Structure 1
Amino acid sequence: MTFNKHIANHIRDIPKSGIREFFDIVAQEKEVISLGVGEPDFDTPWHIREAAIYSLEHGRTHYTSNLGLPELRASICKYVQKHFHVGYDPRTEVIITVGVSEAIDLALRAVLNPGDEVLYHEPCYVSYSPSVVMAHGKAVAVPTRAEDQFRLTAEALAAHITPRSKVLMLNFPCNPTGATQTRAELEKIARLCIDHDLIVLTDEIYSELTYDNAEHVSIASLPGMRERCVFLHGFSKAFAMTGWRIGYACAPGWLTDAMMKIHQYAILCANTTSQDAAIEALEHGAHGVDSMRREYEHRRNYIVRAFNDLGLSCHKPVGAFYIFPNISSTGLTSREFSLGLLEKKKVACVPGPAFGASGEGFVRCCYATSLDQIKVAMDRIGEFVAESKK
């Protein structure tokens, strides 16, 4: 039997995640300090876990509405209005999903016809391009540059728009670069989206994790954008709830209705216990978010300074919990640097090309690990850089 011919062409040709491929290698090593996995090192705050325990103890173990618990949707709308200045109807314009990843998949499948083009900025989260392909769209990367602090510019976006362009995907603050967007640049991008009738998927999962008193602006809040935006958010990063797999999408009713058709047949509904925990997170989790943000900012300041002191140019990101230092001065490729650092110094970071071709010459380091571990890792990286230049 020729097994390969039975796999759908568009699935067979999708490469495996560069992050997961690299961490399969990491898993074979012992006593590694990881600056690689994009997951908070904090446990979910106790009061949120306690809400889940209460939910289970009281037998809340049944299906919810396809759209999710009404109480959670109402809490989400209050939260989004307060923090992002966009209003949604909890009855018809919010859908609770299995993480933001499912929300992205639903949105793409709901709007794309085969061959429609989806624009996204790169380096970017590893799932974006494959998600477009799985929805039978064409992924079009718009490179961003370190000189622009990896912000997407309207000028760069305009150069990639064609008559087949249908969707723009944004992720700010950005994984892997920590880049954020200014209001002024977002306004220019919004004008392009209106002029070219683009749907915008705005993934703002890191929005609570911004530093230096920076203003986070959602493109959905700008004039003329609410009706063409799918606002994507969740609980994994700010509330340290990665394993709970709970996210949400807010969009005009006509879009939410289309997404719900896919969700109800493929998933039915998100986990009930996680939904109850999410209500607690939104209603009483602000203090925990603030505490984690302060600690991340302290770590960011240290690790950015340490990389620049080593002569590895690193811009100071204003969001998320990643840095994206330039390692090209070592004469090594991103993969050579990452594999050599892992083999010789037992420190794991992710090669930049895992996030797209424009990531070559960079590595992603995640500072969602203790400062003590970061300090040891930076000492080892310093040794490796010195040895590489001999």
Structure 2
Amino acid sequence: MRGERPRTSLLMEDIGQALSVQYNNLVYDMKATGQDIITLSLGEAFFDLPLPEFGGLTTPALHHYSHSRGVPELRRLLAKYYETKFALPVDPDTEMIVTAGSKAAIYMTLMAVLDPGDQVIVPEPYWLSYPAQIRMCRGEPVMVPHDVPVLDFERFVTARTRAVIINNPNNPSGHVYTRAELEHLHELADRHGLLLIVDEAYNEFMPPGTGFLAAGALDPDKEHTVTVNSMSKNYGVSGWRIGYLIADQRLTDEVLKINQHLVTCAPTLLAAYLAEHFDDLLDITRPQIRRTVALRNRVGAWFADNGIDTLPGTSTFYLFASLGDSTLDSTGFAGRLLKENAISVVPGIGYGDSCDRYIRVSVGSESEDRVTRGVTAIRDLVEATTPARLPARPGPA
């Protein structure tokens, strides 16, 4: 006689799939059956890149573990990148860890700093894995609705608040935090003893002539700032899963232990390739990044001309488009758009409860012609699901 099957964690049963990944898995399944899907849901930009050739790499032992902080040469180049481009000095030997994607960097940081019941302030729209990762670390996410300005974040601080986490530039809105906003967040962190976790995975996706202010530059001693970034996005190699974090040695030493017990090290071969081709790949991707950001902002102007509002933003390759007066919520809208028009977007509900009247539109993985077809269908569906306005009744005589 068999006993009961072992149960799964109650915590994990309460955490859903990452909504953007869930939708893209559905798209992959549909494409596998031969369906043509205009994919405006992918969280990556497709660039023309040379196929990698690993034969010329000089890093020894490419098929084996590297240092668990990451391939030393890659760490040195990333440290130089942040120091020369963003005025943030970094010791590559003590203040940086290369990770298997920036998702892992964020999760391991949260694991290193949270005790059960600790709270993390999460402004909406947030990158959709933040709350799940906080819960997985036995913490409690405290959501800030998208219409609350940064200067009002202090009212969400409690005795249990441990950290604030932001995505800058923001996925899904494209908002770039101003110097005044970042200075206020640093003051908030100082005043309440909080950690400021800043996910800068889209820092290269800025409009031409626009500088990017790294949050860590306002806290060069890293007293309360953790910077997380991703080579995957800026280099157009999302599937390679190479991210990194920058923090003071006290915190990186704790994250290092987690990294060693979870994955040992980021993929040695891929990290070595990125080190050998660090500047060459940026030279290839940067013109394509500029074209992608320009397309993003043309689509934003087109939305505005067609009566569709978007949350303010000029960066990344995302737009967070309003459903206006449509009778559909974001999940219903995205489902119907996919079923009827073979166009995929991500429901806004995945980015916070205050965002259910929005959808995330990504323009990074399709041609401009197909993007145009997709956003036209979005406009048409908004119009088709918006009740006709009745004429105003005459007032009393």
**TM-score normalised to the size of structure 2?**
0.90
Contact 1:345 1:384 in 2 (8 A): no
User: Residue 279 of structure 1: CA displacement?
Assistant: 1.1
Contact 2:118 2:160 in 1 (8 A): yes
Pair 1:19 & 2:24 matched: no
Which stretch has the larger CA shift, 183-192 or 338-347? 338-347
Secondary structure of the 1:193 match is: helix
- Aligned pairs for 1:184-263 (under 5 A) are 184-223=180-219, 226-263=222-259
Q: Which residue of 2 aligns with 1:177?
A: 173
* Residues 121 and 315 of structure 1, relative CA distance in 2, 3 Å threshold: closer
Aligned AA (2:38): I
CA–CA distance in structure 1, aligned partners of residues 358 and 221 of structure 2: 33
Contact 2:323 2:358 in 1 (8 A): yes
CA–CA distance in structure 1, aligned partners of residues 58 and 278 of structure 2: 19
- Aligned pairs for 1:120-131 (under 5 A) are 120-131=122-133
Secondary structure of the 1:226 match is: coil
CA–CA distance in structure 1, aligned partners of residues 106 and 135 of structure 2: 12
Q: Which residue of 2 aligns with 1:69?
A: 71
CA–CA distance in structure 1, aligned partners of residues 23 and 295 of structure 2: 24
Contact 1:93 1:252 in 2 (8 A): yes
Contact 1:325 1:363 in 2 (8 A): yes
Q: Which residue of 2 aligns with 1:289?
A: 285
Aligned AA (2:19): G
User: Residue 328 of structure 1: CA displacement?
Assistant: 2.5
User: Residue 25 of structure 1: CA displacement?
Assistant: 4.3
Secondary structure of the 1:312 match is: coil
Q: Which residue of 2 aligns with 1:84?
A: 86
Bigger proportion of residues as helix: 1
CA–CA distance in structure 2, aligned partners of residues 176 and 68 of structure 1: 29
Pair 1:274 & 2:276 matched: no
CA–CA distance in structure 1, aligned partners of residues 185 and 232 of structure 2: 27
User: Residue 284 of structure 1: CA displacement?
Assistant: 2.6
CA–CA distance in structure 1, aligned partners of residues 128 and 189 of structure 2: 24
Contact 1:41 1:370 in 2 (8 A): no
- Aligned pairs for 1:1-390 (under 5 A) are 1-3=3-5, 6-26=7-27, 27-28=29-30, 30-43=35-48, 45-46=49-50, 49-50=52-53, 52-55=54-57, 60-145=62-147, 153-155=150-152, 157-223=153-219, 226-315=222-311, 317-368=313-364, 369-389=366-386
**TM-score normalised to the size of structure 1?**
0.91
Between the two proteins, the alignment pairs up a number of residues equal to 380
CA–CA distance in structure 2, aligned partners of residues 253 and 164 of structure 1: 24
* Residues 224 and 348 of structure 1, relative CA distance in 2, 3 Å threshold: same
Contact 2:57 2:276 in 1 (8 A): no
* Residues 106 and 58 of structure 1, relative CA distance in 2, 3 Å threshold: closer
User: Residue 31 of structure 1: CA displacement?
Assistant: 1.2
* Residues 313 and 286 of structure 1, relative CA distance in 2, 3 Å threshold: same
Q: Which residue of 1 aligns with 2:391?
A: none
Which stretch has the larger CA shift, 293-302 or 267-276? 293-302
Contact 1:212 1:318 in 2 (8 A): no
Secondary structure of the 1:54 match is: coil
CA–CA distance in structure 2, aligned partners of residues 14 and 278 of structure 1: 34
Contact 1:199 1:228 in 2 (8 A): yes
Contact 1:154 1:192 in 2 (8 A): no
Which runs of no fewer than 5 residues in structure 1 stay unpaired? none
Could you say which structure has the larger radius of gyration? Answer: 2
Contact 2:67 2:265 in 1 (8 A): yes
Secondary structure of the 2:273 match is: helix
Secondary structure of the 1:306 match is: helix
* Residues 23 and 74 of structure 1, relative CA distance in 2, 3 Å threshold: closer
CA–CA distance in structure 2, aligned partners of residues 198 and 320 of structure 1: 28
> Which digits, 9 at most, give the CA deviation of each residue in 1:300-351, with x for residues without a partner?
1321122223221124522111000111222321122212211222211111
CA–CA distance in structure 2, aligned partners of residues 233 and 281 of structure 1: 18
* Residues 274 and 296 of structure 1, relative CA distance in 2, 3 Å threshold: same
User: Residue 298 of structure 1: CA displacement?
Assistant: 2.5
* Residues 84 and 307 of structure 1, relative CA distance in 2, 3 Å threshold: same
Identity in percent: 29
User: Residue 107 of structure 1: CA displacement?
Assistant: 0.6
User: Residue 388 of structure 1: CA displacement?
Assistant: 2.9
CA–CA distance in structure 1, aligned partners of residues 13 and 202 of structure 2: 31
CA–CA distance in structure 1, aligned partners of residues 144 and 312 of structure 2: 22
Which runs of no fewer than 5 residues in structure 2 stay unpaired? 389-397
User: Residue 2 of structure 1: CA displacement?
Assistant: 4.5
Contact 1:112 1:135 in 2 (8 A): yes
User: Residue 214 of structure 1: CA displacement?
Assistant: 2.6
> Which digits, 9 at most, give the CA deviation of each residue in 1:61-88, with x for residues without a partner?
1111111111111111101101221111
Which stretch has the larger CA shift, 296-305 or 110-119? 296-305
User: Residue 55 of structure 1: CA displacement?
Assistant: 3.3
CA–CA distance in structure 1, aligned partners of residues 345 and 119 of structure 2: 32
User: Residue 19 of structure 1: CA displacement?
Assistant: 2.1
Aligned AA (1:21): Q
Contact 2:126 2:166 in 1 (8 A): no
CA–CA distance in structure 2, aligned partners of residues 293 and 117 of structure 1: 36
Alpha-carbon RMSD across the aligned residues, in angstroms, is 2.1
